[in-house]
Amino acid sequence: MAAKFNPRDARAGDPITAAMWNRMQEAVRDLQRVRFGAGLAGRVGPGGLQVTALPIRRTRASWCRIPSGGVLAATGTWPALTPKTFVADVYENSAGALALVASSATIYWWYKDSALANKLVACIANDDGTYDALLDSCTVV
């Protein structure tokens, strides 16, 4: 059985052990500064804490308008819903004005209620270039 490591021995003794101790302390300080949720995921496993960089997913709100004819309700029951889709131009806020970011984008409508034509819809981008509708306005725009 190996002798238990005592950090006081490292600081006072052998320079290699002291250097390893200092590097370990720096690594601990670095890990204490990691904020999870900002493109990082962490888990504790057999090898200790593992930090993985994740692709940062854009989470800015986007806006579209339900086309003429409206959109029908999704079908099915939770969690096996089948969304309806519609095609619309998608805009984002740019210095207080709406700027086009996607022409004729596919929008998934997951709601079990239909939506009237020309209502403003907040949506969010999916990784494949489509969008999910988040909610619709109460009034037509």
- pLDDT tens for the chain, residues 1 to 141: 555 555 555 555 666 666 777 777 777 776 666 555 555 555 555 556 565 655 555 567 899 999 999 999 999 998 899 999 999 999 998 888 999 999 999 999 999 999 999 999 999 998 899 999 998 887 777
Both 88 and 113 in one domain: the answer is yes
Judgement on whether residues 108 and 127 belong to the same structural domain of the protein: yes
Cis peptide before 15 (omega within 30 of 0): no
Same structural domain, 30 and 78: no
Residue 28: which H helix or E strand, with range? Answer: helix 15-32
Please give the distance of CA 96 from its chain centroid, rounded to a whole number.
Answer: 24
Interatomic CA distance for residues 126 and 59, integer angstroms: 9
- Asked if 67 and 108 sit in the same domain, the reply is yes
Residue 1 falls within a domain, yes or no? no
Residue 82 has φ and ψ, to the nearest 5°, of: -115, 110
Same domain, 23 and 86: no
Residues 24 and 50 sit within 8 Å (Cβ to Cβ): no
- Residue type (1 letter), 8: R
* Pair (134, 68) in one structural domain: yes
Do 125 and 74 fall into the same domain? Answer: yes
Judgement on whether residues 48 and 71 belong to the same structural domain of the protein: no
Cβ atoms of 114 and 121 within 8 Å: the answer is no
Q: What is the domain extent for residue 34?
A: 7-53
